Structure 1
Amino acid sequence: MFKNSEKGVTFIEVMFAIGLLAVLSGAAIYLINPARQFAAARNNQRVAHVNTILNSVHQRIADNRGTWSSTCGASVITLPSSTTTIGSDPANLDLGLCLVPVYLATMPMDPSVGTATNTAYTIFKNTVSGRITVAASSTELGEEILVTR
């Protein structure tokens, strides 16, 4: 009589292991949610950009003894009293002329939709309080990103 003493893995055991790995990896992807993580990272970048723009505007004001000097090279640029998009397009406010390269190396742009002509950031100066607000107009995950000082 022959005794079968071979040890091995059966086809059913292999299929069970593959199925278990598929379920576990699917659950991990669902819990990690990479799309949401990337959206949150882009929002964090927007927060940094909004703060950078506002800090550079205030630094320019501080360097000009507390006032916004409207002369920017050959151009005259005033801070708007209504929400205006920042960018080099003629319909937008080109803050780059005033801030680059003295206060910023380059003008920050929205990580997903920003261009040089439309950064997807807005700015306005409240005429009553004198406070300046910079906001991101293309946020994700329902967040509102704006800073006022």
Structure 2
Amino acid sequence: MKAFTLIELLVVIGIMVILMAAAIVAINPFRQFAMANNAARLSGVTTIMNAIYQNIVDNKGLWGGDLPTPPTNCSTLPTTETSIGSGATQTNICGCIVTDYVATMPVDPQHGRYADCTNYNTGTDGAEMTTGYTIRRPAGGRITICAKGTQIPPETAEICISR
């Protein structure tokens, strides 16, 4: 009767394990997820910037938070880098861009949390709820929005755009 010996089976299983390990190393799923998160961060930062500029265009050159009667949940843009959120030390831009220019506030895929325009600084569990993005507009300068804590490649600590 012909059959496989235990040694033959172990050799085949060993070869399969080596091939699967090589495939996992070649694919590198952790790097792929990190690259996808960075792409989502760039998309979020770009979406916020585009919405801000749409608001400025619609208000004839003024940011909604700078209007004589600004919308609810819309503050002036800070001159120093500040987290975008609804907390006292954060910059709330939600009321100026959400529903008119974006459906919901874009958030960092790993660190961002958002419920609504009045609740994205602290959640019911006490955890901080921010978009995970920062914003600044120095006096007379360009608006800069950044995503901090980016993942691979390690040489980029943040994703920023300025206009």
Match for residue 93 of structure 1?
91
1:31 to 22, 26, 32: 26
1:51, 1:147 within 8 Å by CA — same for their partners in 2? yes
Is there any run of 5+ residues in structure 2 with no aligned partner, and where? 114-119, 122-129
Residue-by-residue CA offset, 1:25-76 (whole Å, 9 max, x unaligned): 0111112111111111101100000000000000000101112132442456
Match for residue 108 of structure 1?
106
One-letter amino acid of the counterpart of residue 126, structure 1: P
Q: Identity of counterpart residues, as a percentage?
A: 43
One-letter amino acid of the counterpart of residue 127, structure 1: A
Distance 1:75 1:32, change over 3 A: closer
One-letter amino acid of the counterpart of residue 81, structure 1: T
Match for residue 3 of structure 1?
none
Does residue 120 (structure 1) correspond to residue 132 (structure 2)? The answer is yes
Distance 1:121 1:57, change over 3 A: same
2:64, 2:71 within 8 Å by CA — same for their partners in 1? no
1:110, 1:138 within 8 Å by CA — same for their partners in 2? no
2:42, 2:159 within 8 Å by CA — same for their partners in 1? yes
Task: Tell me the TM-score normalized by structure 2.
Answer: 0.82
Does residue 146 (structure 1) correspond to residue 146 (structure 2)? The answer is no
More displaced 10-residue stretch of structure 1: 88-97 or 13-22: 88-97
Distance 1:36 1:73 in 2: 41
Distance 1:19 1:102, change over 3 A: same
Match for residue 136 of structure 1?
147
Does residue 54 (structure 1) correspond to residue 49 (structure 2)? The answer is yes
Task: Tell me the TM-score normalized by structure 1.
Answer: 0.89
Is there any run of 5+ residues in structure 1 with no aligned partner, and where? 1-5
Distance 2:72 2:131 in 1: 22
Match for residue 22 of structure 1?
17
Return the offset for 1:98.
Answer: 1.2
Distance 1:28 1:74, change over 3 A: closer
One-letter amino acid of the counterpart of residue 160, structure 2: L
One-letter amino acid of the counterpart of residue 53, structure 2: H
Higher radius of gyration, 1 or 2: 1
More displaced 10-residue stretch of structure 1: 41-50 or 25-34: 25-34
Distance 1:31 1:75, change over 3 A: closer
Return the offset for 1:77.
Answer: 1.4
Over the residues paired in the alignment, what is the CA RMSD in angstroms? 1.5
